[in-house]
């Protein structure tokens, strides 16, 4: 068993190494031709570049096949946005490679280490394969929560700085030295983009794409409207900050009221799973009915589906969007 797992991992590494060498061999003649043209004083022609050279080389090194597949499925931009919103410096192709490696490792581990539960090998493989994406989503959720918590104070700081005589763009730069991540980094990036020649409205729109929160959209709309029509922006930012704080208070009350319902849903969902695991551990022969028998498989699938539906209904009842 262990020998087969080692052989599987070795084959995976060998395939990755061969693909990397092929990609590198394809790039070498291109680089040689470009250098020859430059040495002769010619300008290299070809298809227009789609991005910086570092990003192109990273895409080729990370796996041209995976990148093209993501482009066809229209998942490349979505994954890039998720990674950027999570504050991670990962590449999309590396995330896909990690998911595939964990998928194969989970399938091989369950299939050969636990012969009695080979039917659960695809489920274990899917769970392990989804871990990188789930980690990105968790980091993104935590980062958005931290930004939303710091955002009212940042708005009040900008308002006070403008009342003290500073320009709006200078106030954005001052946030970098007065606040922590992620607010400091996002406002500093917005200031740098505006300082390097990008219009302020465009820099704020890009910030709204990186931070897809309703409060940030309100902030961008207020700044854009004030720039076009005029008005007291400091007062508008103060009112927006107080509005966000009131929403936080209301959200906290709703969470306190719905805590019992959320705990009930989690308990009702976890109890059958715990009982099933104990049954497989204590009496594996009894649990084989749900894995090898056709009727048992149908019953297990129906039970899982009903559990998921019940959990979704309870979450829908106790979740109140504000």
Kindly state whether residues 11 and 49 are assigned to the same domain: yes
* Residue with tokens 């890039």, as numbered in its chain: 80
Query: Is residue 264 domain-resident?
Result: yes
Query: Is residue 134 domain-resident?
Result: no
Kindly state whether residues 275 and 198 are assigned to the same domain: no
Q: How far apart are CA 295 and CA 178, in angstroms?
A: 63
Last residue of a domain, one of 89, 106, 129: 129
Q: How far apart are CA 63 and CA 71, in angstroms?
A: 12
Kindly state whether residues 242 and 267 are assigned to the same domain: no
Kindly state whether residues 164 and 98 are assigned to the same domain: no
pLDDT per position as a tens digit, 1-10:
445 555 556 6
CA nearest neighbour of 92 among 116, 68, 108, 112 = 68
Q: How far apart are CA 93 and CA 132, in angstroms?
A: 12
Kindly state whether residues 49 and 95 are assigned to the same domain: yes
Q: How far apart are CA 190 and CA 210, in angstroms?
A: 11
Residue pair 28/139 in contact (Cβ under 8 Å)? The answer is: no
Query: Is residue 138 domain-resident?
Result: no
Listed in sequence order, the residues at least 6 apart from 272 whose beta carbon sits closer than 8 Å to its beta carbon are 303, 307
CA nearest neighbour of 45 among 27, 30, 24 = 30
| Residues 72/78/81/87 CA torsion (nearest 10 deg) | -100
Give the pLDDT of residue 12: 56
Query: Is residue 136 domain-resident?
Result: no
Kindly state whether residues 271 and 251 are assigned to the same domain: no
Query: Is residue 10 domain-resident?
Result: yes
Which of the residues in the chain have pLDDT under 50? Answer: 1-2, 18, 22-32, 34, 38, 41-62
Q: How far apart are CA 61 and CA 76, in angstroms?
A: 16
**Domain residue limits at 216:** 144-256
Last residue of a domain, one of 256, 271, 286: 256
Kindly state whether residues 118 and 157 are assigned to the same domain: no
Give the pLDDT of residue 69: 58
Kindly state whether residues 6 and 90 are assigned to the same domain: yes
Query: Is residue 137 domain-resident?
Result: no
CA nearest neighbour of 115 among 282, 279, 284 = 284
Kindly state whether residues 155 and 251 are assigned to the same domain: yes
CATH code of the domain in which 189 resides: 1.20.81
Kindly state whether residues 8 and 122 are assigned to the same domain: yes
Query: Is residue 277 domain-resident?
Result: yes
Kindly state whether residues 103 and 194 are assigned to the same domain: no
Kindly state whether residues 252 and 166 are assigned to the same domain: yes
Query: Is residue 135 domain-resident?
Result: no
Give the pLDDT of residue 108: 80
Per-residue tokens: 313: 């209904």
Last residue of a domain, one of 215, 231, 256: 256
- Structural domains of the chain, count: 3
Q: How far apart are CA 138 and CA 46, in angstroms?
A: 41
């Amino acid at each position: 068993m262990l020998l087969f797992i080692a052989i599987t991992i070795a084959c995976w590494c060998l395939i990755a190494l061969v693909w990397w060498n092929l990609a590198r061999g394809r790039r070498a003649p291109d680089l040689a031709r470009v250098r020859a043209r430059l040495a002769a004083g010619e300008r290299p022609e070809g298809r227009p570049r789609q991005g910086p050279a570092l990003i192109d080389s990273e895409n080729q090194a990370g796996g041209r096949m995976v990148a093209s597949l993501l482009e066809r499925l229209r998942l490349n931009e979505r994954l890039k946005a998720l990674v950027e919103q999570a504050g991670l410096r990962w590449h999309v192709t590396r995330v896909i490679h990690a998911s595939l490696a964990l998928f194969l490792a989970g399938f091989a581990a369950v299939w050969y280490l636990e012969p009695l539960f080979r039917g659960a090998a695809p489920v274990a493989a899917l769970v392990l394969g989804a871990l990188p994406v789930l980690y990105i989503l968790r980091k993104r959720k935590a980062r958005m929560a931290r930004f939303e918590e710091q955002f009212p104070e940042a708005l009040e700081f900008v308002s006070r700085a403008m009342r003290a005589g500073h320009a709006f763009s200078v106030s954005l730069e001052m946030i970098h030295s007065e606040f922590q991540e992620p607010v400091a980094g996002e406002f500093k990036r917005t200031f740098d983009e505006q300082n390097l020649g990008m219009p302020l409205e465009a820099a704020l729109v890009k910030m709204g794409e990186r931070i897809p929160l309703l409060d940030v959209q309100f902030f961008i709309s207020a700044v854009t409207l004030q720039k076009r029509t005029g008005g007291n922006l400091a007062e508008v930012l103060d009112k927006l900050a107080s509005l966000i704080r009131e929403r936080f208070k209301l959200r906290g009350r709703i969470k306190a009221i719905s805590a019992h319902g959320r705990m009930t849903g989690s308990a009702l969902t976890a109890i059958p799973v715990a009982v099933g695991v104990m049954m497989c551990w204590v009496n594996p022969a009894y649990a084989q009915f749900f894995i090898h028998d056709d009727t048992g498989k149908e019953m297990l699938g129906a039970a899982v589906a009903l559990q998921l539906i019940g959990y979704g209904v309870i979450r829908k009842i106790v979740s109140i969007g504000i």
